[in-house]
Structure 1
Amino acid sequence: MGGISQESQVEMEVTKPSGFLSRVGPGLITAATGVGAGDLIAALVAGAAFGTTFTWAIILGAIFKYFLNESIGRWQLATGETILEGWHSLGRWVTGYFGVYSVIFGFVYGAAIASSCALAMRAMFPILPFWAWAIIHSIFGFFLVLLGRYSFFERVMTVLVGVMFVTVVGTALITTPNLTEIFIGLVPRVPEGSLFNVLGLIGGVGGTIAMVSYGYWLKEKGWSGKSWIPFMRFDSKVGYIMTAVFCLSVLVIGAEFLYGTGIKLSGEQGLIQLAELLGAEYGEVTRWLFLIGFWSASFTSLLGPWNGLPYLFADFVRTTTKKNKKSHVALEKTKAYRFYLFLLTFPSMILLFAGEPISLIIMYGVLGAAFMPFLVITLFILLNSKRMDKEYRYNWLSNTAFAFCIMLFVYLSYTQLSGMF
């Protein structure tokens, strides 16, 4: 990679953040947003079935997601364009696909993640019905994002990440993990019948549409220009190292507590079942630790999209609407931003009472299965294009990693769609 110009070096010295906490934030938020109940279940099931054999898969998945996250940040800092503007340059069908997917995703995801938060909260405080807890979480997220500035949102998310990290890692330590077995799990092995578990762990470590929000959070943080790329990379690394440790802790809990017992967990209800089992074995404090970690993971997966996805939708509207394309109005001040935040919060509540419309869920599943391949392929094209300065384009290592990512996510997309139909 080429050197940084003298002008950029001066800019970096002037604006260089001091202290660890000032150099992290957006990456931590992005990584935490992508770790939800689905990732907890995947790691628990793998640990219960195969012990710590798949330590390597979790680490590899975190490395892949770091490459994706870093690429989104690098594109914006090196070109000055958002990812939506990059997609639009590839053709209208690209932004069109995202526009359709974002509306359907917002409607379905809003209900799904509020339900996940409610499940954990009701297990701790069964004083309200399930639907009431779901609505409370949605509305709280709505007003926190609508009325709060990014700096406040970042502080709230950082606290939640800390709680989530301490509680789940603490629970793993209580189970007295076998360190030798964990180190043995660093050697790649795929036992018979475990391929789908492996691919799910690699593909699911912090993977979500919210990852695309990273560029907008960088802008809110005040990071702009090529001189910030080293700090962005550090930020992304911290986020995905913590993600890997978090998911590895969940794998350890499954391995140390469930491996060989024949107990099978499935769905988010399985996390509640596990909390009860942990409480019976290690005491009520451990049960509460795990439930708080489950709730924190779910609530970060609500707040992150509540703040980040409206940026994407507002940028989509501005990018595809000629009269607003050159507008300098902050995205969070636009009607499109507030509309999407409203969509995530209120219309999705219908699903809490009316059940899940089959046709909508199928469409969401089809578009969702195709999103990660879509993201990887478009990033691969953009960061190898002449629109990037030569020193910031992909090198052989990045291209090799992305080739593996493309193959992985295309296969996962195929298996997910095959399972649906």
Structure 2
Amino acid sequence: MAATEQRKATWKQIGPGIVVAATGVGAGDLVATLIAGNLFGYTLLWATIVGCIVKISLAEATGRWHLATGRTIFDGWTSLGRWTWAYFGIYVVIWGFVYGASAMSASALPLAALFPQVPFNAWAILAGLSGLAIVWFNRYAVFEKIMMVFIGVMFVIVVGLAVYVAPNIGEALAGLVPLLPAGSLFYTLGLIGGVGGTITMAAYGYWVNAKGWRDSGWMRMMRVDNRVAYITTGIFVIAMLIVGAELLYNSGIALSSGDQGLLDLGDVLRERFGGFVATLFLVGFFCAAYSSIIGVWHGVSLLFADFVDHVRGRTGTDPAATEKSLPFRAYMLWLTFPPMLLLLLGRPVQLIIAYGVLGSFFMPFLAFTLMWLLNSSRTPAEWRNGWISNTGLAIAGGLFLVLCGYELYGVVTGG
């Protein structure tokens, strides 16, 4: 079959998009959406939809590069200069150290609430070790099925909860009109930027290849996969905003910042609807947090392994071989064991600051380098960006630059 012949898009093939979206929507994104609903009701509903469109543009561009060129995103970055190696190498080491502790902590919160007899740190370490085992001993096909189970449970519980609290349809429709209430600017930017978007968006192309999609004949399937994934994610995030709007808006309840805010919601649900509903929500909370663990352990390790291959002068490694390679497994170990020190000793403030600043730089780096690559001769002419893709990537890059500036401002001012 010729590479340019389009394969038929089928529902049974959908997978990599769900994986990247589920990985990107972690406990922190749920808290941000919940607090937005808590503070502004349905007013910022439109921002979650814009966020989905932005992420569809980013993920589609990543997948299109892999399929159109037969090269990985790291091949593309390398063609732009070895400065990309320096940035990525520093970033991925610091990010992985702190993210590992954050992800394990987020997964431990609902488990500790459900089973308080077991120490919190024990749950966190168990979450990290079990995530390591799942990725270490399984190839992509099994990993994808496991991720599908977690996002399925997460979706049913949170969307079901949104229906259960009886949303105000009129106010929800009014929330589709773009408005910025006083004090809502950075909540709005956070909603747009946080709908399933992390470094794992750069891993989408690797998951596409691991699925067996290797050439431009899979382009139609990739686009269907990507859109279904982010529409599903959008529904999920809208459901979380509905929960915040209906249960907490004008109630005077102040949620804790960080992942602890989801436990606060669990307490509210217990008071309003009883222990069964609260327990179901904690299960959904765990699925959201734990799917991010196994997604990052797999996806970012693929990125790291490709980075090491390029440093060694090796390219074109088969994804199936990469999953069992030494660099892939070494990065999984880096995500798992050193961060346990942060769980036991507390998280150093300087490292958290460095993580926040570097993290805010990655998404504009991804958006603008994709624009560069997909508008150049590096990409076959028929698959280069059109005005729609360029607009989406420009909006994404500009948005994340603003968020980056806000992060830097917070570091300088101590805010």
For Structure 1 versus Structure 2, the TM-score category normalised by the shorter chain is over 0.9
Unmatched 5+ stretches in structure 1: 1-5
In 2, distance between residues paired with 1:76 and 1:90? 16
Q: 1:333 deviation in Å?
A: 2.3
Q: 1:7 deviation in Å?
A: 3.3
Which stretches of structure 1, 4 residues or longer, exceed 4 Å deviation after superposition?
326-329
**Pair 1:272-2:244 in alignment:** no
Q: Which of 138, 144, 161 is the equivalent residue of 1:171?
A: 161
In 2, distance between residues paired with 1:51 and 1:333? 47
Q: 1:327 deviation in Å?
A: 5.5
Query: Which structure 2 residues correspond to residues 34-73 of structure 1 after superposition, within 5 A?
Result: 34-73=24-63
1:280-311 C-alpha deviation (Å, 9 max, x unpaired): 10122210121111111001111100111111
Letter in 2 for 1:389: P
In 2, distance between residues paired with 1:394 and 1:187? 29
In 2, distance between residues paired with 1:413 and 1:130? 32
Q: Give the conservation status (yes or no) of the 8 Å contact 1:78–1:389.
A: yes
Q: 1:111 deviation in Å?
A: 0.7
Q: Which of 78, 83, 89 is the equivalent residue of 1:93?
A: 83
In 1, distance between residues paired with 2:77 and 2:109? 37
Q: Give the conservation status (yes or no) of the 8 Å contact 1:23–1:234.
A: no
CA change 1:278–1:270 in 2 (3 A) is same
* TM superposition score normalised by structure 1: 0.95
Q: Give the conservation status (yes or no) of the 8 Å contact 2:6–2:220.
A: no
Letter in 1 for 2:356: G
Q: 1:361 deviation in Å?
A: 2.2
In 2, distance between residues paired with 1:142 and 1:54? 37
1:71-127 C-alpha deviation (Å, 9 max, x unpaired): 000000000010011001101011220111111111111111000000011111112
In 2, distance between residues paired with 1:245 and 1:200? 17
Aligned-residue RMSD, C-alpha: 1.4
Q: Give the conservation status (yes or no) of the 8 Å contact 1:145–1:153.
A: yes
In 2, distance between residues paired with 1:365 and 1:327? 32
* TM superposition score normalised by structure 2: 0.96
Q: Give the conservation status (yes or no) of the 8 Å contact 1:168–1:289.
A: no
- Cross-structure match for 2:348: 357
CA change 1:400–1:327 in 2 (3 A) is closer
Q: Which of 195, 202, 206 is the equivalent residue of 1:216?
A: 206
Q: Give the conservation status (yes or no) of the 8 Å contact 1:31–1:206.
A: yes
**Pair 1:161-2:151 in alignment:** yes
In 2, distance between residues paired with 1:211 and 1:32? 11
Q: Give the conservation status (yes or no) of the 8 Å contact 1:54–1:185.
A: yes
Q: Which of 265, 280, 284 is the equivalent residue of 1:293?
A: 284
In 1, distance between residues paired with 2:284 and 2:380? 43
Task: Give the fraction of aligned pairs with identical amino acids, expressed as a percent.
Answer: 50
CA change 1:185–1:285 in 2 (3 A) is same
In 2, distance between residues paired with 1:416 and 1:289? 34
In 2, distance between residues paired with 1:338 and 1:128? 29
**Pair 1:391-2:386 in alignment:** no
In 2, distance between residues paired with 1:73 and 1:52? 33
Letter in 2 for 1:204: G
Letter in 2 for 1:91: G
Q: 1:412 deviation in Å?
A: 0.4
Paired residues in the alignment total 410
- Cross-structure match for 1:3: none
- Cross-structure match for 1:368: 359
Q: Give the conservation status (yes or no) of the 8 Å contact 1:171–1:289.
A: no
**Pair 1:414-2:400 in alignment:** no
CA change 1:227–1:129 in 2 (3 A) is same
